[in-house]
Amino acid sequence: MTTIDKLERDSALTSSARQSGTATRWTWQSAYVRRLFWTDTVIVVLSVVLAHIVRFGHENLLAAQIDALNYTLISVGLAAAWLVSLRMFRTRSRRVIGAGYDEYQRIVSATLWLFGFIAIVALVFNMELARGYLAIALPVGLFGLLISRWLWRKVVARKRRRGEFATSVLVVGGARAVRHLGSTFERKFTDGFRVVGVCVPKYSGVVGEAVDVDGRDVPIFGDEYSIAEALVASGADTVAVTATETLGPEGIKDLVWQLEPLDADLVVATGVVDVAGPRLEMRPVAGLPLIHVEKPSYHGAKRSGKRVFDLVFSSLALLVLAPVFAVVAVLIKLDNKGPVFYKAERIGLDGEPFGMIKFRSMVTKADAMVESLLVQNEGAGLLFKMRDDPRVTRVGKVLRRYSIDELPQFINVLRGEMSVVGPRPPLRREVENYDGRVKRRLLVRPGVTGLWQVSGRSDLSWDESVRLDLSYVENWSMISDVLIIGKTVKAVLASEGAY
């Protein structure tokens, strides 16, 4: 094929790709980014104006001359600098909008960096800035920005639930890689990725054959030399390469040039699964971009910080929930005679057993009835669960539906047997059947809540429960704990997967 032929082909593919969906993605993303910009602008301006009015009064809004500083000009400059800072930190980047906490993190970093810079400048030049003015603008503006992004993300999630605002992915790899990526994307549908086609390296079969992904047929469009044509035929706007060893470095570089006129993204799947971003670091070595994977950390300052957080959070929780405990205790006694609390054996840190405290939600001696009910078990794997368990009392059904029966576990947290956030507390018979990989769940304290709590609870399969627990153990951080606590409140109020 001559150079002219290649140029004509690329031009035709570019036109076709834009008509087949790529342009649609840029359209909605561009419109979404514009809305974010105007929302950010309104929030920043209003927060600065509010701080100005509260500190100096509305009559001085246009002429606030305080100690030789014109605060009207300062307010205009602060609002402009705040918007510039949000842009510098790429808070509206297409890479972070709509999914993950990186968007929130960038907003916080941009805001704190700006106000920190202002504080340093004021100190160096001995400027007497009104601290109350900044103390109002900072929290009000930051809170407003975070809430607005959260609301916009809800809009995106709702659209993606209906199949809109999605990123169509063409996978270059084998059937196994396609199934793994496809299942992962389906599970995290709010991220907006969907596998629509596959190119199998060294494929010699019939074009049009399909790979089954969770009951959905994903068509095969050819081999690694058919990617550009497959991109157009599938309507994809992103290429995900998993077969890096087959393409090689030269093949991937050639692919980058092929995709350039198609206005499509290229991502490379490393094969490193369930490892969070903070543990991955790109390091160029001898001209090669190598990904360094940090080892999980279970000791030292991180564990001490987590323990301090557990003590403070559980103490406050028990103090605030004391009236709830009193009411629940009375209801349990009125509904069914017996103790208010129930202590169930669970296996904790390093395989040590402990008594997990719960509000009693079943009749007395419920444990003795398990054997007769095993044939009706609806739980996943080694777990025993029944949607209509005859042992559960009337009050117990309400307690379980909203996870109120688990609130006394904060006592276990104070005693050092549990953590606020962690893996699900396992039974002894579960632990006895663990293999070497699953035993890693015992490297951290089990949690009152965790990834399993916010991802389906009793509706999860055994394998998925184990995967979530191991993912938490290997990637836990204080930021992720705070996010999980926030998601737990939502999951509990919606009573998702609770029975």
Measured between alpha carbons, how far is 187 from 191 in angstroms, rounded to an integer?
9
One-letter amino acid identity for 79?
A
313 in the same domain as 454:
yes
User: In this structure, are residues 36 and 97 in contact, taking their beta carbons and an 8 Å threshold?
Assistant: yes
Instruction: Sort strands 447-449 and 288-293 into parallel, antiparallel or unpaired.
Output: unpaired
Measured between alpha carbons, how far is 181 from 169 in angstroms, rounded to an integer?
10
Q: Which pairs with CB-CB distance under 8 Å and at least 24 residues apart come from 374-380?
A: 379/458, 380/460, 380/461, 380/462, 380/463, 380/464, 380/465
Strand, coil or helix: 313: helix
One-letter amino acid identity for 86?
L
326 in the same domain as 182:
no
Q: What is the domain range of residue 425?
A: 301-493
How many domains does the structure of the chain reveal? 3
264 in the same domain as 232:
yes
Q: What is the pLDDT along the chain (499 residues), one digit of tens a residue?
A: 443 344 344 444 444 444 444 455 667 888 899 999 999 999 999 999 998 888 776 655 555 454 435 777 888 889 999 999 999 999 998 878 776 678 888 999 999 999 999 888 878 877 776 777 888 899 999 999 999 998 998 888 888 888 788 888 898 888 888 888 888 787 777 778 888 888 888 888 777 788 888 788 888 888 888 888 888 888 888 888 887 777 777 777 888 888 877 778 888 876 655 565 666 666 776 666 677 666 666 666 677 888 999 999 999 999 999 999 999 999 988 887 888 998 888 999 888 999 999 998 887 766 666 665 665 665 555 555 666 677 788 888 888 888 888 999 999 999 999 999 998 888 888 888 887 778 888 888 999 998 877 776 656 666 777 778 888 887 777 878 888 888 888 777 765 555 4
145 in the same domain as 70:
yes
Q: Is the pTM for the entire model greater than 0.75?
A: no
Measured between alpha carbons, how far is 378 from 366 in angstroms, rounded to an integer?
17
Q: Given 217, 250, 271, which residue is the final one in a domain?
A: 271
Two structure tokens written together for 249: 């470095």
Characterize 381-398 residue by residue with b for buried, 16 or more Cβ atoms within 10 angstroms of its Cβ, and e for exposed.
ebbeeeeebebbbebbeb
Give the C-alpha distances (Å, rounded to integers) separating 314 from 309, 418, 442, 447. Answer: 8, 10, 21, 12
454 in the same domain as 371:
yes
Asked if residue 287 is part of any domain, the answer here is: no
358 in the same domain as 243:
no
72 in the same domain as 46:
yes
